[in-house]
Amino acid sequence: MRRNVVNAPMFLLLMLSLFNGQIALAQTTPFLSDAEIRMLVNEISGDRAFEHIRWLTHWHRDSGMEGFFKAADYVVQAAKEAGLQDVQFFEQKLDGRNYTARSAELWMIEPVEVKLADIGEHAVHLADGSHDADVTAELVWIGDGSKNALKDLEVAGKIVLTDANPGAAVRNAVWEKGAAGVVSYVISESKTLMDFPDQVAWSRIPIDPPEGKKGTFAFILPPRKGETLRKILATPEMQDYFATGKRTKGGRVVLKAKVDTEISETKQGRTGFVEGWIRGTKYHDQQIIITAHLQEEKGSANDDGSGSGNILELARAFNKLISEGKMKPPLRDLRFWWTDEIYSEYRYFRDYPAEPKKFLANLHQDMTGAKQSMGNRVQHLIYAPHSRTSYLDAMLESVGAFLIQTNNGFLAAGRQGGLPHPYSRPIYSSFGTRDNYNAMLVPYFDSSDHRCFVEGAIGVPAIGLINWPDDFIHSSDDDLDNIDPTQLRRNNFLIAALAYFLAFAEDDDMALLAGETYTQGIKRLANDLQVAARVLRDSTHAPEASWKDASMLVEQGIQRELRALNSVRVFAGANANANANIQSLAAQMSRKEKDLMADLQTCYQQLHGSASKPIKLTADEQAATKKIPANAATLEEYFANRATVRFDGNLHGLMREEVYNFVDGKRSYYDIYKAVRAEALAGGAWYYGTVNLKDVVGLLDAAAAAKALVVK
C-alpha cells in the first residue's frame, strides 16, 4: 500500500507530528492518503448495515436462547455473502442453562379485564429465567421488595408488585415467604420512573431456585402500567384508571399469569460465536480481530445490532474493494467475530490459550448507530487503559480527530476559510440524518468485549466505540427508530481506517507510528504534569504526601510512554534501523523525566519556599515492595480462580481490573499500586475513584488466596 509519508526521514515525521495543529487544519490523517479516504468512504454503507440490524432486531437473543442461534445463523449466511472465508459458528459450552420463553401473558381479571403484558408483543415483558406458570392470584404491593418492606406483609400464594429489581422480590417474597410470582415496573440504567413511563426494561431473575424451592416468574411492565396498578390497590373508590370505559371499585386486583418456557435440564448449556476471515498474504501471527456482539435482548438495535451490522458491512466493503482491484489483499489476517458478549472471548482464551499470541490488535464496535438527536447521545472513542497504551491509541486519536473535524461545523473554517458548509468533508448515508458527529475521545472504560483483550494475561492492544449516555439501552426502546445510518457509516469508516492501515503496515511505516505515538505521549505527559501541579497546590497541608503523588505521576507517565513506544517494535521486526529509531525516541522520552521533575520542583518551591525532601517509604510501602505477584500458570486456572476472589475494598471497578492488568511477575505490589494510583489521579477521582495502597494490597492478597496469583 502506498502512502504519502512512508519514506520520509524520521526527523521530518517528528516535525509533522509536533506541528499536528497544521495537520489538523488540513483535515486529514497521516494514516490514510486522500485517495484511500475517498475509497473507503465511497464503499462503506450505513444503509446496508442498517438492513442487517433490521433482521437482527427480530430475535430475543440472550446467551443460549433460540433467538441467539437464529441471529447467529443469519450472520453466518450474511458473512458468506459478504465474501468472508472459513465462516463458521464456533460452538462453546455455556456456564448455565439454555433457556427460551415460548409464550407468556399477564392479565388483570379483577376489577376489570385488561391484558397487561404479552411477549408476543415484546420479549422483555417477561424476565429471563422465568419458569412455567398458570397462576391466578391477588396482587399485593411490596415496595422495593426488601426484607424490611415485606416484614409485616402476608404474601403467600399472592402475586407481588414492586417498582424495584424483580430479583429481590423473587428471593424475599417468593422463596422466603411463599409468593406465587412477581410483577415489576423497574426501569433500566437507574433512570427514574418519570423519565420513560412507557419503556419496558430488560430484566432477569435467577433461573435456578434454592434447594427445596420451585422456579418462579416475573413480568415486567412499563412504569405507567405499574403505577396504575399500585393506584388501584391504594384507592378503594370507584375508578377507571385503565380507561376501559367501565368504572370499578378499587382496593383489590386479581391477576392471571400464564407462562410457557423451555429450560434445559443440565446446567451446562451451549453458546458460541460466528467467525469469518479475510486471509492475509504474509503475516499470520499478527491477526487483527474485529469484534461486535450478537447477545442482547429483543430489538437491541444499537446495543449491539449496530456493531454486528457494521462489521458485516465492513467485511463486504473490504472484499468488494479487493475484488475490484482497488485494494490489495491484506498482509495480515482480518478475523471477524460476532460474539456472546465478553463470555465468548474469555471462554475462547481459556480453551485455546496459545491463540491470543497471534493477535496484533482488537477493534471493537458496540453501540455505534445512535441517532444522536434522540437522547443527547455522544459517541465515545475509547483509549486503552494505561496498562495497554500503545500505537493503537495514537491511531484512534488521529482518525477520530479527522472525523470530528470534518463532520462538525466550525465558523472559522466554513464562513471565512472557504470550506464547504456546514461540514467540510462530511460522511452521510442516503437514508440517514445530516446530524453532526457528536464524538469525543475518552479515557478507558470497559463494559464490552474490548475489555477481554487488554487483560494483563492476554496483553492485546484494543480500542472500542460505545455511545453514552443512552436512554434506550436494555429496554424495549432500543429499536430501529433510534438508529441513524449516517452514524453507522462514520463509525464504520473509523474502524475500517484503523484495520486498513494495520493490515498493510510494514517496517517502513514504523517511523510514522513511532512519531505519532511519541507526540501523543508528550500530550499525555503534559496532562500528567498539570495534574501533578494541582496535587501540589491542593494539598499544601501535606507537602510530603503530595510530593510523593506528584512525583509518581511523572514517573509512571514516563513508564507508560516507554511501553507505548516499545509497542511499535512489532512492526519493526528485525529491521535494525527501525529498532534503532525506536530506541532513540525511547531515550529522548526517558530524558523528559528530568525536565518534568524540574518543573514540579519549581512548583513545590513556589508553594513552600524550599525544595522538596527526599521521598521516604512508609513501613507498609516497604513491605509492598517485597511481594511480587505473577498470574496462575494457565489461563484456565487464572480466570477460573480469579472469579472466586472476594475483596470488599473501595477500588473503582476499572482500577480493580488495572491492578490485575499490571501483574507481570516483575512488578511488586508497590509498583502496581503506583501505576494504578497514577492512572486514577491522571483520569480524576470523578472518573476512576481514589486508589490507596491498602486496597491494592488487599485485592492482590485476596487473589493470591484464591490461587489466581502466586506471590514471590
Domain ranges of the chain: 42-96+269-503, 99-263, 513-616, 618-712
- Given this model, what pLDDT does residue 23 score? 42
Q: Does residue 350 have a pLDDT over 50?
A: yes
Burial of 418 (0-12, 13-18, 19+ CB in 10 A): exposed
**In the CATH scheme, what architecture does the domain 99-263 have?**
3-Layer(bba) Sandwich (3.50)
Tens digits of residue pLDDT in 385-416? 999 999 999 999 999 999 999 999 999 888 88
Inform me whether the pLDDT recorded for 109 exceeds 90.
yes
Give residue 12's pLDDT.
43
In the predicted structure, residue 26 carries a pLDDT above the cut 80: no
Distance, C-alpha 356 to centroid of its chain: 19
Residue 372 CB burial class (10 angstroms; 0-12, 13-18, ≥19): buried
Give residue-wise pLDDT tens across range 355-375.
Answer: 999 999 999 999 999 999 998
Taking alpha carbons only, the member of 354, 337, 266 closest to residue 295 is 337
- The mean pLDDT of 174-194, rounded to a whole number, is 92
Is pTM beyond 0.75? Reply is: yes
pLDDT at site 190: 82
Assess contact for 676 and 598: CB atoms under 8 A. Answer: no
Q: What is the fold of 42-96+269-503?
A: Aminopeptidase (3.40.630)
pLDDT greater than 90 at residue 21:
no
pLDDT of residue 593: 97
Percent of the chain at pLDDT above 90? 91
Q: What is the pLDDT of residues 237-291, one digit of tens each?
A: 999 989 999 999 999 999 999 999 999 999 999 999 999 999 999 999 999 999 9
Distance CA 183, CA 181 (A): 7
Residue 10, pLDDT above cutoff 80: no
Query: Longest C-alpha distance within the chain, in Å?
Result: 88
pLDDT at 370: 97
pLDDT in tens, 593-621: 999 999 999 999 999 999 999 999 999 99
pLDDT at position 19, please?
41
Stretch 412-424: mean pLDDT: 87
pLDDT given at position 392: 98
Cell triple for residue 280? 492475509
Contact 690, 535 (CB under 8 A): no
Taking the C-alpha atoms of residue 338 and residue 310, their distance in angstroms, rounded to an integer, is 11
| 336 and 364 Cβ atoms separated by less than 8 Å | no
Residues 494-537 have pLDDT tens digits of 999 999 999 999 999 999 999 999 999 999 999 999 999 999 99
What does the alpha-carbon distance between residue 583 and residue 60 come to, in Å, rounded to a whole number? 52
Angle at Cα 111 formed by Cα 106 and Cα 113, nearest 5°?
A: 45
pLDDT at 421: 86
Q: Please state, in angstroms and as integers, the Cα–Cα distance from residue 276 to each residue in 311, 316, 318, 339, 505, following that order.
A: 11, 12, 13, 12, 22
d(CA 269, CA 262): 13
For the CA atoms of 116, 121, 123, 127, what is the dihedral angle to 10 degrees? 0
For residue 141, list its beta bridge partners. 161
What mean pLDDT do residues 102-122 have?
A: 97
Higher pLDDT, 25 or 690: 690
Rounded to a whole number of angstroms, the distance between the first and last alpha carbons of the chain is: 48
* Span 406-430, average pLDDT: 91
| Element housing 256 (H / E) | strand 254-263
pLDDT at 17 over 80: no
Compute the average pLDDT of residues 411-436.
Answer: 91
Distance CA 367, CA 362 (A): 16
Give the 3-state secondary structure of 258-293.
EEEEEECCCCEEEEEEEEEEECCCCEEEEEEEEEEE
Which pLDDT score is estimated for 585? 97
Omega cis (within 30) before 206:
no
